[in-house]
Amino acid sequence: MVTDINELIAEIRLLQDQVEARWEALREEFQYTLEGRKVRFAGEMRRLHQRYRIGLLRYLGDTPPRHVITAPVIYAMVVPLALVDVTLMLYQHICFRAYGVPRVVRRDYLVIDRHQLDYLNGIEKLKLSIAATPTG
């Protein structure tokens, strides 16, 4: 049984090495580095992003009318979602401390970084993009 576990551990380490090698290849291909929790693109990739950005007027001109009409209704949901977020934060601070439960650090699970993408125009950057991805 111990041999089986050691073999599994060796296989997991091999897979981890393969994943790291693939990530490194992608970093080189897309010319980016990770600085802490932020992605930084190299100069040439940033220029490509800016070249393919769709201008605001063209973006609005290509948008179907139904999207323009429904946008205020859709984005009105920001208010109740913000209230839910504040409520959960208060719940966590009060109840988790009272019962000795460790708090959940939001930034470890939610990444909001769409505003850092140079190829998006102002409206596209405002669209909420939350990647529920564990980091670490």
Residues 35 and 23 in one domain: no
**Mean pLDDT, consecutive 10-residue segments, the chain of 136 residues?**
86 95 89 81 84 86 88 87 91 95 85 78 69 44
What is the domain count for the chain? Answer: 2
Measured on CA atoms in the order 87, 105, 134, 40, is the torsion positive or negative? Answer: positive
Query: Which H/E stretch holds residue 131?
Result: strand 131-132
Give the tokens for residue 102. Answer: 């460790």
Residues 26 and 43 in one domain: no
Residue 44 domain boundaries: 31-132
> How high is the pLDDT of residue 45?
85
- Residues sharing a CB contact under 8 Å with residue 129, sequence separation 6 or more, in sequence order: 112, 113, 114
Residues 42 and 25 in one domain: no
Residues 114 and 57 in one domain: yes
Q: What is the CA radius of gyration of the chain?
A: 21
Query: Which H/E stretch holds residue 106?
Result: none
Residues 4 and 40 in one domain: no
> How high is the pLDDT of residue 128?
56
| pTM (2 d.p.) | 0.50
